[in-house]
């Protein structure tokens, strides 16, 4: 069993949260839906919000019935459920690869006296190694493609420094579409989507159970480490109660609000959706 110490999942702006975070028994997870580029909605939600909620709900169902099943089997059933829901919700209309909903995720599972860490995309799992060093588990090629988008944004802002967020988006959306063409391809990056192919490319590691805290984090919360440099991996392991976690989120939002997203730490969203779940083996 995993004991939940803190859980936060908050939208970065006024639109619906495209993250999700959840847990059940020996399982815990965070999900980061990739913002759609077509503007399409599904049952009144953005593609990303709909997809992350569907994955969250499917994980809750299948985690409850997972005894004796490998994690890959559970994930395959989750994707199959969500793919079927997608067909039903969109009346079976086919979509090009880059228009399909997708998400990064991080998943933790207790298996006897070990913890199994699984990630896909740019969510991370923060834990201590055998020597007590805190680090972020999970790798992805997504930053390579995000760097191309930021390069296009930088060029646009150099030409026209006073672009509004909407105008800047219009300048870079072509690059974002090009990036999405590489989703779940051998030369691109791997994320969860409506087919099971990407499940062969998860990052996975088994670690001994040491009863210390483990944090699962979406990239919006990881900004404190990798964008603003205002926290360390070890700091995240100190967020092992709800009050401290909420303080860290408030700190993140203050930093985002004070920093110019176009001429400070360059980013397309001033504030991103942010999710965190901190657990301990019980």
Q: Are 251 and 2 in contact (CB under 8 A)?
A: no
| In the block, residue with structure tokens 């995720």 | 105
| Range scoring the smallest mean pLDDT among 92-101, 202-211, 270-279 | 92-101
List the structure tokens of 135: 């680090």
More confident residue, 222 or 92: 222
pTM of the model: 0.96
Q: What is the pLDDT of residue 91?
A: 83
Q: Three-state DSSP class for 206?
A: strand
CA–CA dist 37, 278 (Å, integer)? 31
The separation between CA 160 and the C-alpha centre of its own chain, rounded to angstroms, equals 32
Q: SS in 3 state form for 139-195?
A: CCCHHHHHHHHHHHHHHHHHHCCCCCHHHHHHHHHHHHHHHHCCECCCCCECCECCC
Does 26 score more than 70 pLDDT?
yes
- Give the mean model confidence (pLDDT) for residues 68-93: 93
* pLDDT number for residue 233: 98
pLDDT, averaged across the chain: 95
- Per residue in 179-237, pLDDT tens? 999 999 999 999 999 999 999 999 999 999 988 999 999 999 999 999 999 999 999 99
Six-digit token string for 157: 């802002």
Q: pLDDT per residue over 14-24, tens digit each?
A: 889 999 999 99
Angle between helices 47-63 and 71-89 (to 10 degrees): 140
Residue 259, pLDDT above cutoff 90: yes
Q: Is the pLDDT of residue 55 over 80?
A: yes
Bridge partners for 8 per DSSP = 276
Q: Where are the alpha helices (DSSP H) in 24-134?
A: 47-63, 71-89
Tokens for 217? 């984090």
- Classified as helix, coil or strand, 237 is helix
Mean pLDDT confidence for 18-34: 97
Task: Tally the residues of the chain.
Answer: 282
Q: Are 12 and 275 in contact (CB under 8 A)?
A: no
pLDDT confidence of residue 256: 98
> What integer pLDDT is reported at residue 94 of this predicted model?
65
- Return the half-sphere exposure (C-beta side, CA atoms, 13 A cut-off) of residue 198: 27
Model pLDDT, residue 144: 97
Report the distance separating Cα 143 and Cα 18, nearest Å: 19
Of residues 192, 195, 182, 179, the one with CA closest to residue 37: 179
In the structure encoding, which two tokens stand for residue 187, read together?
């030369």
Task: Decide if pLDDT at 79 tops 70.
Answer: yes
What pLDDT is attached to residue 43? 87
Q: What is the pLDDT of residues 124-147, one digit of tens each?
A: 999 999 899 999 999 999 999 999
Residue tagged 């709800």 (tokens): 242
């Amino acid at each position: 069993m995993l004991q939940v110490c803190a859980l936060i999942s908050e939208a970065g702006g006024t639109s619906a949260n495209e993250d999700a975070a959840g847990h059940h028994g020996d399982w815990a997870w965070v999900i980061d839906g990739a913002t759609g580029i077509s503007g399409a909605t599904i049952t009144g939600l953005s593609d990303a919000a709909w997809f992350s909620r569907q994955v969250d709900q499917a994980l809750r169902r299948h985690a409850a019935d997972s005894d004796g099943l490998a994690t890959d089997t559970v994930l395959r059933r989750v994707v199959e459920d969500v793919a079927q829901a997608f067909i039903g919700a969109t009346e079976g209309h086919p979509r090009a690869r880059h228009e399909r909903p997708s998400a990064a995720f991080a998943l933790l599972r207790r298996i006897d006296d070990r913890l199994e860490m699984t990630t896909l995309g740019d969510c991370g799992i923060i834990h201590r190694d055998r020597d007590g060093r805190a680090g972020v588990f999970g790798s992805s090629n997504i930053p390579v493609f995000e760097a191309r988008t930021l390069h296009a944004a930088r060029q646009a802002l150099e030409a026209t420094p006073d672009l509004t967020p909407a105008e800047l988006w219009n300048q870079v959306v072509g690059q974002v579409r090009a990036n999405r063409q590489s989703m779940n391809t051998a030369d691109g990056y791997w994320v969860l989507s409506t087919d099971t192919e990407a499940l062969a490319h998860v990052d996975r590691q088994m670690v001994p159970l040491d009863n210390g805290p483990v944090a699962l984090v979406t990239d919006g919360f990881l900004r404190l480490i990798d964008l603003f440099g205002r926290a360390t991996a070890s700091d995240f392991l100190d967020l092992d109660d709800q009050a401290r976690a909420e303080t860290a989120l408030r700190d993140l939002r203050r930093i985002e609000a004070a920093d110019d997203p176009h001429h400070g730490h360059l980013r397309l969203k001033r504030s991103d959706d942010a999710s965190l779940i901190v657990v301990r083996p019980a």
